Amino acid sequence: MKAIYPGSFDPVTNGHMDIINRAAKLVDELVVAVAVNLDKKAMFDVQERVELLRQACRHLANVKVDYFNGLTVSYARKQGAGLIIKGLRAVSDFEFELQQALMNKRLDDQIETMFMMTSAEYLFLSSSMVKQLAELGASVCGLVPEAVEAKLTERV
């Protein structure tokens, strides 16, 4: 089974990596896909986000990193993936993710969405939290892959 794991990854955190590491064990092939979202103001451009993910996923032979524009289901279809993987943190993620999953199902009922629960230590972790911490001069050590930590320090 081939799956995609879509998101903004601005930047990738250890919460994302937890999902990627666990999902890679469940599927034959996993494509981590950076969604190009023009509405969201990003700290890192798409190429930088892809590069940081590639570095962080180097140890995983069945994981590929890519980016896409437009509908997630169209991208999944183009990749030949029958599965969309999403991570869930708190109840606050649920409503938005449910709405998206149901709409994606309506757009293409051949593609399933599967949710994975965050590991408890990453429950509070989000890309926006990490950016805020870095901007305020706090350490993000242990919250993001090493390459991201260096890039964040350089950026702020």
Residues annotated as catalytic (active site), given as ranges: 16, 40, 89, 127
DSSP three-state, residue 110: coil
- Kindly tell me which of 77 and 116 has the beta carbon lying closer to ligand ADP: 116
Which x/- pattern, by CB under 6 A, does the window 92-121 give for ligand ADP? -x------------------------x---
> Does 15 engage in binding with ligand ADP (CB under 6 A)?
yes
Min separation Cβ 35 and ligand ADP, Å: 7
Give the whole-angstrom CA distance, residue 42 versus residue 152: 13
Residue 1: how many other CB atoms lie within 10 Å = 11
Give the whole-angstrom CA distance, residue 131 versus residue 138: 10
Contact present, 105 and 37 (Cβ < 8 Å):
no
Site for ligand ADP in 62-91 (CB under 6 A): 86-89
Contact present, 30 and 74 (Cβ < 8 Å):
no
- Kindly tell me which of 30 and 125 has the beta carbon lying closer to ligand ADP: 125
Q: Which residues bind ligand ADP (CB under 6 A)?
A: 7-9, 13, 15-16, 19, 86-89, 93, 118, 122, 125-128
